[in-house]
Structure 1
């Protein structure tokens, strides 16, 4: 008791209040300790709250009956208390049935008023917890009376009690078996707070072994990032983090994944993995808009495969254009053409999402020899190639690809006529083809060009549409806008430097 009084008089009391462990010198029947951010004497009962006197006989009888019986505890608290009693009893009887009654009365309470008390052993607390060992060291024991320790304002009384129960367990891993990840994280935090080192190690070992759901993974990362751990932390987070040595091989991994998809032999598996990779890249883009892309596929790698696919497509088209009866079947060759065109579409989709597609527009516009071979093949075999042009026009029309005027004009000069010719087949043969999206993208792209180029393109489209009808893309909206620019709003007022206005023809 003298040690306790000297402690209160010393400057350490404020520090102990902050740490949440305060000894009370006023307890007469037992040496008492209180773990709480707020100090209050255990021996001094709280002052009763004053209430108005009853004014009627019914109120007097009701109040007397209520005071005699007291308010009934919430059923949930009773159930929780019984469950905790059973848990502690089971731990003590299982680990060592010869335990004598405890010499420490440990009371744990939460903000919502739930309180649970249990008899535990000072030697166990001091041996397993450096926190309890330090705080109990200065508290003397009155013979025949337990040391009273109160833990206040716990986030979860059940977890705290379970952590104390774990101090009695010889095999902590077996004790944790079957627990949910959230419960183990709670036990880990309590074990860290009370410096229960073997409990910390057991929780970390368990988290390293047990499977996680995606929700669990977020919880684990969030909790562990707040703890000051070193080796055990690194061991657990190896499941979700990449070491620098592994990160340096990311380029090789991306190269292997892309090559595997483009060269796959099983068509069904190829489609599934293509969809998988595309979905992961879109997910990365959506989640990292505010933080930058996490997945950084090298631009050189993507363009390496683009050029490789273009070369293969050119070879296949040349062979198909010159095929005769003594050579390979044209249908088989055109299957390879469709596959290479599909590969390019997939790569272009990635380039567009990564905002790296400007160079490909120029690369595709320069394929004049490929376009000549394309014109020699029946539409039913070649329409997949025109889907690449449609894909680029839509992205340019949406502002997803920013390229120069010359690059846009060159693209349309090389491939627009082929797009007109193949449009009917694209509509009928492609399940995911949206003609409205393509027509809108084409309109928007054409209207970004100078008026002279708009006129040339739209007048040529006018003739195509009158002859082919629905088999040609309907870009009437672009035609209307151009017409109004050319003839309705032909002149615009402009100010010269002297402040006088003069008229200038828009084109």
Structure 2
């Protein structure tokens, strides 16, 4: 078969592949004499830099500023191209050494040219035997193209990165590719993987995947790895790499078991510093994108309320022990620390419930803790003030609209715990740096103002007498008192006669 016919068949084969644009043509000579220094050249040269006489001395025009910017960009591109040329030159030298040492081959019988999108070209002499043996793509295209005394020219156009294509060809001459990849960065290996997949260089694909499976990834690199692997559609060969980020189908029940174990571990931690750090970490992770992904596996409401009941039971036991304590029992300081710890545990779980918009049921649960409230009133304030922070938490959330519960439930909460909050407020404010006095007062004020006017009156008149006697040791909710006063005496609204029914008055206006 004539060499021209063989070349035509190969050209048609390459054009049919959507990932590469290659062309073949038989060479008129049987050998290649081009020197290494001429195997690469930029498609164009940037304009020369301006001389000192042409530079503006002052107040440059817009055109001059644009010209300067263009020159800077051109200089940057030129420097980048020079660096690329230097690296490519090293790769071509490495290619020549490998072809002799690893394969014992002489000069190549295929001239392979790689062309970038901006016209940058690199040519190299490679060996048909190596291409066919290493790449199923080249095997298909070159297996019928050889003719005695004739070498071929192959051109790969529109390349994203010429350097990566050259390096992929160099890898074909190595037996131990994974050793050759040691020290490369993840981005470079992903680029090599992409080219290896395009030309069906199986050894290159395997080595790149083994590298990716073995090295650590940054968070940005992880996103790139997953994106590249999904685009390349390598299917079963990427399973080992993906095991780092996927363990197979997960279920809500399985995830919830893990969450329960982690949360319980924090609640029972022995080291206080580690406990605080893990509380912060887990809270941040649980709140991360919590409402943006419908498929997200999250801690369940049942698990959180299970932990709430556990904390409440522990609090009741601790307070019961504190009320019956005498000189022969445990150290009071140890018991005080246990009460503070259990109260802090409950505060943490309530914070998670509020963040996940699951705290409505807890308001009723806390309002029903009359036994705990009674025990609370029988022990010294210094032992119990951390418990009142839970009431403050709920009032702040209600005042912000983050908890939506019926009015009767809100009133029941304050009926059970407001007196305790008043008593403990001074200790809360002095003993804990994390208590924001104004935040508590604003939250309490707003929560009170959500009640019926009669309920507001009962609570605020009681507060008025207490504040006059306690001063700063009582929450200052004057703002709520002012609003109630105006509602009750200045802007009286009489449209609602019966609080159990909605009264609607229709008015006819003249037309």
Q: Considering the TM-score relative to the shorter chain, is it more than 0.5?
A: yes
Mapped contact 2:14–2:22 kept (Cα < 8 A):
no
Matches of 1:341 and 1:309 in 2, distance apart?
8
Are the structure 2 counterparts of residues 162 and 248 from structure 1 closer, same or farther at C-alpha, using a change threshold of 3 Å?
A: farther
Please show how residues 157-176 of structure 1 align to structure 2 within 5 Å: 157-176=162-181
Q: Cα distance, 1:468 vs. partner?
A: 1.2
Q: Cα distance, 1:28 vs. partner?
A: 5.5
- Which segment is superposed worse, 111-120 or 164-173? 111-120
- Larger RCO (alpha carbons 8 Å, 6+ apart): 2
Show the counterpart of 1:191.
196
Mapped contact 2:14–2:23 kept (Cα < 8 A):
no
Mapped contact 1:105–1:118 kept (Cα < 8 A):
yes
Q: Cα distance, 1:368 vs. partner?
A: 0.8
Are the structure 2 counterparts of residues 5 and 338 from structure 1 closer, same or farther at C-alpha, using a change threshold of 3 Å?
A: closer
For the pair 1:87 / 2:91, whether they are aligned, the reply is yes
For the pair 1:253 / 2:258, whether they are aligned, the reply is yes
Are the structure 2 counterparts of residues 273 and 78 from structure 1 closer, same or farther at C-alpha, using a change threshold of 3 Å?
A: closer
Matches of 1:394 and 1:293 in 2, distance apart?
31
Mapped contact 1:316–1:337 kept (Cα < 8 A):
yes
Show the counterpart of 1:205.
210
Please show how residues 104-123 of structure 1 align to structure 2 within 5 Å: 104-123=110-129
Please show how residues 228-377 of structure 1 align to structure 2 within 5 Å: 228-244=233-249, 249-282=254-287, 284=288, 287-292=289-294, 294-377=296-379
In structure 1, runs of 5+ residues without a counterpart are: 32-45, 47-70, 502-507
Matches of 2:99 and 2:145 in 1, distance apart?
28
Show the counterpart of 1:179.
184
Show the counterpart of 2:81.
77
For the pair 1:131 / 2:161, whether they are aligned, the reply is no
Mapped contact 1:16–1:22 kept (Cα < 8 A):
no
Matches of 2:275 and 2:467 in 1, distance apart?
37
The alignment partner of 1:226 has SS state of helix
In structure 2, runs of 5+ residues without a counterpart are: 32-42, 44-73, 497-502
Matches of 2:276 and 2:17 in 1, distance apart?
64
Mapped contact 1:81–1:116 kept (Cα < 8 A):
no
Matches of 2:295 and 2:408 in 1, distance apart?
30
The alignment partner of 1:249 has SS state of helix
TM-score between both structures, scaled by the size of structure 2: 0.83
- Encode CA deviations 1:145-192: one digit per residue, 9 max, x unaligned: 531111111111111111111111100110111110111000011111
The alignment partner of 2:231 has SS state of coil
| Number of residue pairs matched by the alignment | 458
Runs ≥4 in structure 1, deviation > 4 angstroms? 4-9, 12-15, 24-31, 245-248, 492-498
The alignment partner of 1:225 has SS state of helix
Matches of 2:198 and 2:284 in 1, distance apart?
42
Please show how residues 31-110 of structure 1 align to structure 2 within 5 Å: 74-94=78-98, 96-97=100-101, 98-110=104-116
Matches of 1:229 and 1:126 in 2, distance apart?
21
Q: Cα distance, 1:425 vs. partner?
A: 1.0
- Which segment is superposed worse, 197-206 or 75-84? 75-84
Mapped contact 2:15–2:21 kept (Cα < 8 A):
no
Mapped contact 1:95–1:169 kept (Cα < 8 A):
no
Are the structure 2 counterparts of residues 90 and 246 from structure 1 closer, same or farther at C-alpha, using a change threshold of 3 Å?
A: farther
Q: Cα distance, 1:260 vs. partner?
A: 1.1
Matches of 2:264 and 2:435 in 1, distance apart?
26
Q: Cα distance, 1:391 vs. partner?
A: 0.6
- Encode CA deviations 1:87-137: one digit per residue, 9 max, x unaligned: 232244257423201111111121223221111111111111111222224
TM-score between both structures, scaled by the size of structure 1: 0.84
For the pair 1:440 / 2:442, whether they are aligned, the reply is yes
